[in-house]
Amino acid sequence: MLLSFAISVLLPTARVFGGQIPVVEGVIGGVPSVSSTNELLEFPQVTSNITTPGKLRVVENSGVCETTPGVFQASGYGDLTATESIWFWFFASRKDPENAPLALWFNGGPGSSSMIGLLQENGPCRITNDSTSVTLNPFSWNNEANVLYIDQPVGVGFSHGDTKVGTSEAAAADVWSFLQIFLNDKRFSHLKKNKLALWTESYGGHYGPTFAAHFLKQNSAILERKISGTILNLQVLGIGDGLTNPLAQYPGYLQYAAVNPYHPLVNETVLAAANISWTTPKTGCRDLIIACNAPVWNTTVCSQAQSFCNNRILSPLAGIYDVYYVLTPDPDPYPPQISTYLNNVASKIGGEVQWSQSSRVVYANFANTGDWMRDSSPDLEFVINSGVRTIIYDGDVDYILNFNGVEAMVADLKTIWSPLFKQQKFKSFSVRGQATGLYKNAGKFSYVRIFGAGHEVPAYKYGKLEYGEAAAQMFTQIMRDESLSST
């Protein structure tokens, strides 16, 4: 109860429903004050003391969510140490699970639970509008792959224990350690040989490149016998509506707020003020981001950049609209909240703590290091150049990681496929004959902008299509090592 109170004082009455990116002291993606951070840390989450370091603790076939006959599921914890436990929920593929790829899913935040993706987006079941039950999802991503949803870092969602992680690099190390435990458990060891894919969204624009690059570098270290471990057969990286390169992406807020496919978000006065905040020499957002990514930088500069840019640009340019879906005023009640359902089924699936959508403690850790404003595109370039099939996707109704910024980030990449990508023209992405987006392919790199989709692309429908149908086609093609194509 005390922790809940400490968190609540950080939240305004609006802009808290269903979002992955926390609102801190009235600012979307703000930086907590020292007093707020200290207040949070006075009340650590209560954890279970029954751990098995280096092992999994599993509930098999709980009957919750995936009700397709004969489809295996498992949920529980991988204990990194006696005081650090990472929650997972695994769903076997609905077809040929022994040979199907293994797809990892991570939501963003930083500090948000991957149960968001499971229940609101691409999992075997979808939350109903009353938030108390679920229905089977015919376009679940486990139609094509074994899917593993992971709550990370420690302290997020059902994960619990010492909340030490505050950078994407530290998070990557813990996820790698968790996967070593997971893939060496007899229930899942057969998946070592299968294709591994990493899918993520939102702050996943940082997580995806950083995690994938870490996996590849660990693989090399194993092959060179510098460390011991299991090779991760990473072949796919997918990033939806992601924050990767802030310097390239923040002008997108100015562009999208003024002109987008739907309606302007703010008036000229607000736009003008935000433009000044972007361009002012030395103290403006642009120069603060540059300083954060200079060869010599410090966490104070990066935290200052996050605080200033989100207070002066990201937050005000949203106007009255929901930052995740600009067709509705804030807050949009869709997708429905999932906390009631998850806490009702927690005992059945092995959850050991009260589930919450976002951890303010983890978020504060990241805000204090300034990780938000660091550029993850060098890692993304490394992954692409290493031969990993990569797709970047975005919903055109999303403001908070809008397609203007994401496409500018993609255009700024310097990879083996970048020259070819720039030569391509956008093509219509159709699903069952319904034009539902625009896409480009270049070698093993693809980008697609999905019409009518908000921040959580698989949660939406467009035209005659069903919820998640367009995203499922994209996922299936990429997982089959195909470039995007229309149907």
State whether residue 456 is helix, strand or coil: coil
User: At 257, which helix (H) or strand (E)?
Assistant: helix 251-258
Query: C-alpha distances in angstroms, 395 versus 237, 321, 325?
Result: 18, 16, 9
**82 contacts 180 by C-beta, under 8 angstroms:** no
pLDDT at 49: 60
Average pLDDT score, the chain: 93
Q: Among this protein's residues, is 396 annotated catalytic?
A: no
pLDDT in tens, 82-119: 999 999 999 999 999 999 999 999 999 999 999 999 99
DSSP state for residue 91 in the 8-state scheme: E
pLDDT at 384: 98
pLDDT at 293: 98
How large is the average pLDDT for residues 15-37?
76
**145 contacts 99 by C-beta, under 8 angstroms:** no
pLDDT at 444: 98
**168 contacts 218 by C-beta, under 8 angstroms:** no
Q: Which of 113, 114, 202, 418 is catalytic?
A: 202
Selection from 8, 39, 87 nearest residue 352 by Cα: 87
State whether residue 263 is helix, strand or coil: coil
Q: What are phi and psi of 317, to 5 degrees?
A: -75, -10
Q: Among this protein's residues, is 455 annotated catalytic?
A: yes
pLDDT in tens, 27-54: 999 999 864 555 454 344 544 568 999 9
Selection from 95, 93, 97, 75 nearest residue 85 by Cα: 75
Bridge partners for 427 per DSSP: 439
- The count of residues in the chain is 487
Q: What are phi and psi of 138, to 5 degrees?
A: -70, -15
Alpha helices (H) along 264-376: 268-279, 285-292, 299-309, 339-349, 360-369
pLDDT in tens, 378-427: 999 999 999 999 999 999 999 999 999 999 999 999 999 999 999 999 99
Confidence band of 20 (pLDDT split at 50, 70, 90):
confident
Instruction: Count how many Cα atoms sit within 13 Å of the Cα of residue 388 in the half-sphere of its side chain.
Output: 30
**401 contacts 243 by C-beta, under 8 angstroms:** yes
pLDDT at 24: 92
Helices (H) and strands (E) in the chain, counts: 16, 18
pLDDT at 251: 98
pLDDT at 36: 55
Bridge partners for 151 per DSSP: 87
Selection from 288, 313, 310 nearest residue 299 by Cα: 288
